[in-house]
């Protein structure tokens, strides 16, 4: 290990970061300057990666959980030679269209493993990546060939460890014994408001030991020490490791280091000049966006070394593939990005079945042909009806299991599901009651932002939960889920639609899907559109045609389609009933498709067991039957009657 070269790498990280943040007049230099030595040794000596093949399946993953320190990552990607992070990107830090966005954005440049910035989520998501590694290893490694054998690293700060999601995920990681997860904790004891003495004085080491982690301690500025601690972390195969590195925030800034002032603001020209002088960076234009020649030559040599390591793996992989053609075929399927066809369950007209129950039948069929579909629930396997057939539960002693017991950790569960999907090779799902989607919402938002097709199974989707009362009855949740860009909410109306909804979820590859499913039984109804299985993929179809020109078009979703069909009969009017499984999908269709289902000029009535927000586009307020208040505790039919949410009430609106 060439420590002198690593010192020049750390110097270059500091130089690039100071200038990029100053040029942008915005950014967070504290963690970058404070952790530069870790970045140097991590990318130079510890991380197994190859910038010439950034999607190499067996690369180590690095997640910058402290995403505000994005110039830490960008500097290292630039120095290592990743495409998309050239000097022009560094110079356009935090500008519109730059790959070097304010916080790391997945897909903006090669080498960015996920979008981070919301503190704690990077650490939690890295748990999912580590789980995925063990699952792949269990499935594909053989006695003759090890083709999956990599580590997941994360850099977290004081803020990450204060966030609840990191506690949820870290607790589960310890329980699962994820020995290939290594988290570096940048312990600089400074946050935006000042010293951590203001609000964070717990013994994090003892907390993580209680979670079942190996906890190691050292200095951020000791290359040999960091190397030894990392080797010690790798030697512990049955526990994840937290390496606590004591650091100085903003190290190298003469008057601002070790103060809150340097956390989230440029240093200023005078401080930068003084810092560069102390660091030995040339003065004047030659010292702007400075990269030491020794750092350049160091990484150039490393690029050849990394490539040889990856090529050696490829030789081993090719030999494995030749010996194991069936496994190779399965590997290709796992990484194809396409769902395998499944024989979906069929249901008879008149069957009464909850859509959560029908969803389990569809999930079973899909899971049998898509062996890379993995997931679980937040302690609600039975109530959510998401048990997987022909598999076991994933655990520390059974890495081949496909069902994950996430425990009562909704936010952690969703972040972990993101990590499993981001890792590659898998599709993931997670499940809870819809009302508790509020607990996981920030991770769902990141799914959407990163365009990750995680499937969220959200059951007990309305007031028909009944006796559990308003704490468990979703009211505003459908609207809240639809409000997130790139989230597709599917609310099927019966068992047949539910099977297609699961198929639609598997077909999507560019964003998350929320399946809104009922607790109560719903009757499988006759669908007047003979091509409804195709039409539903536009987001809506005509469930009941009117005899002639309709007096009204009733748009309903989920369980309310049955209510609309009943009300249409009671009204005595010519009514066209539209089952709108996905409003946002339907609204994205060309006008010709929309107009064929909801004729322009028609009187439109909407019925949904949730708030009216968002339906104003389709109907006047007096023509929306909704629930704009919290529910009540009681038997579901009585609650609906109490709230005036009945077929008679809808029929009265139709008849007006």
Annotated binding site for substrate: 28, 263, 356, 460, 468, 472, 519
* CB-CB contact of 424 with 391 (8 Å): no
> Residue 196, Cβ neighbours under 10 Å: how many?
18
Burial readout 122-143 (b: 16 or more C-beta within 10 A, e: otherwise): bbbbbbbbbbbbbbbbebbeee
Instruction: Report the candidate in 63, 214, 208, 203 with the shortest Cα–Cα distance to residue 128.
Output: 63
Q: Residues forming the annotated binding site for Mg(2+)?
A: 158, 188, 190
Secondary structure of 370-415 in HEC code, one letter for each residue: CCCEEEEECCCHHHHCCCCCCCCECECCECCCCEEECCCCHHHHHH
SS3 338: coil
Instruction: Answer positive or negative: Cα dihedral of 450, 381, 165, 610.
Output: positive
List the catalytic residue out of 7, 105, 410, 608.
410
Q: Using CA atoms, how far apart are residues 385 and 388, in angstroms rounded to an integer?
A: 9
Q: Is 99 helix (H, G, I), strand (E, B) or coil?
A: coil
Tell which residue, 515, 408, 511, 504, has the closest CA to residue 460. Answer: 515
Residues in the chain: 656
Distance CA 357, CA 416 (A): 25
Distance of CA 40 to the CA centre of its chain: 28
Report residue 277 as tokens: 């002088």
622 included as an active-site residue:
no
Euclidean distance between CA atoms 180 and 423, whole angstroms: 14
Binding site per annotation, positions for thiamine diphosphate: 68, 117-119, 159, 188, 263, 436
b/e map 598-610, b = 16+ CB within 10 Å = beeeebbbbbbbb
* Residues belonging to the active site: 410
């Amino acid at each position: 290990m060439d420590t002198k070269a690593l010192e020049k790498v750390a110097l270059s990280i500091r130089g690039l970061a100071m200038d990029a943040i100053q040029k942008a007049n915005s950014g967070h230099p504290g963690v970058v300057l404070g952790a530069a030595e870790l970045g140097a040794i991590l990318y130079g000596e510890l991380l197994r990666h190859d910038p010439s093949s950034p999607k190499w399946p067996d690369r180590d993953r690095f997640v910058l959980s402290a995403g505000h320190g994005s110039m830490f990552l960008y500097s290292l990607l630039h120095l290592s030679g990743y495409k998309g992070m050239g000097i022009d990107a560094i110079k356009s830090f935090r500008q519109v269209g730059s790959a070097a966005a304010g916080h790391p954005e997945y897909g903006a440049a090669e080498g960015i493993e996920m979008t981070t910035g919301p503190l704690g989520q990077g650490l939690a998501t890295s748990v999912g990546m580590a789980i995925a590694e063990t699952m792949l290893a269990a499935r594909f490694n053989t006695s003759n060939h090890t083709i999956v054998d990599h580590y997941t690293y994360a850099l977290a700060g004081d803020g990450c460890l204060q966030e609840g999601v990191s506690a949820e995920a870290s607790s589960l990681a310890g329980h699962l014994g994820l020995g290939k997860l290594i988290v570096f904790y940048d312990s600089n004891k400074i946050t935006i408001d000042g010293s951590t003495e203001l609000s964070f004085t717990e013994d994090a080491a003892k907390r993580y030991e209680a979670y079942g982690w190996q906890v190691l301690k050292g200095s951020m500025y000791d290359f040999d020490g960091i190397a030894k601690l990392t080797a010690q972390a790798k030697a512990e195969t049955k526990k994840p490791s937290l390496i606590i590195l004591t650091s100085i925030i903003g190290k190298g800034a003469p008057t601002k280091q070790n103060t809150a002032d340097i956390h989230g603001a440029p240093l200023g020209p005078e401080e930068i000049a003084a810092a560069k002088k102390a660091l030995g960076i040339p003065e004047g234009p030659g010292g702007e966006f400075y990269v030491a020649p020794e750092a350049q030559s160091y990484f150039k040599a490393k690029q050849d070394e990394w490539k040889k390591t990856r090529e050696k793996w490829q030789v081993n992989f090719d030999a494995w593939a030749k010996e194991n053609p069936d496994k190779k075929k399965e590997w290709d399927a796992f990484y194809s990005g396409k769902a395998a066809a499944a024989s979906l369950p069929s249901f008879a007209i008149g069957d009464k079945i909850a859509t959560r129950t029908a969803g389990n039948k569809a999930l079973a069929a899909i899971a049998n042909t898509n062996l890379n579909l993995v997931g679980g629930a937040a302690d609600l396997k039975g109530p959510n009806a998401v048990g997987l057939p022909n598999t076991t539960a994933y655990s520390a002693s059974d890495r081949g299991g496909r069902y994950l017991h996430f425990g009562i950790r909704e936010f952690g569960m969703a972040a972990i599901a993101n990590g499993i999907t981001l890792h590659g090779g898998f599709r993931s799902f997670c499940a809870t009651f819809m009302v508790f989607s509020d607990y996981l919402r920030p991770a769902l938002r990141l799914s959407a932002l990163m365009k990750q097709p995680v499937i969220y199974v959200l059951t007990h989707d309305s007031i028909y939960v009944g006796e559990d009362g308003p704490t468990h009855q979703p009211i505003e949740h459908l609207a809240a889920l639809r409000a997130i860009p790139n989230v597709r909410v599917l609310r099927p109306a019966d068992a047949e639609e539910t099977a297609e909804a699961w198929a639609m979820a598997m077909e999507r590859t560019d964003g998350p899907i929320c399946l809104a499913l009922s607790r109560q039984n719903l009757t499988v109804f006759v669908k007047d559109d003979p091509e409804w299985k195709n039409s539903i993929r536009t987001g809506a179809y005509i469930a009941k045609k009117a005899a002639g020109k309709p007096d009204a078009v009733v748009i309903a979703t989920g369980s309310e389609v049955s209510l609309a069909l009943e009300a249409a009969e009671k009204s005595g009017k010519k009514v066209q009933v539209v089952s709108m499984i996905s409003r946002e999908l339907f609204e994205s269709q060309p006008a010709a498709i929309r107009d064929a289902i909801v004729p322009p000029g028609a009187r439109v009535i909407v019925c949904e067991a949730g708030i009216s927000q968002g339906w104003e586009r389709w109907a006047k307020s007096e023509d929306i039957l909704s629930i704009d208040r919290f529910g009540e505790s009681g038997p579901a039919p009585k609650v609906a009657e109490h709230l005036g949410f009945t077929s008679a009430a809808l029929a009265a609106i139709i008849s007006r």
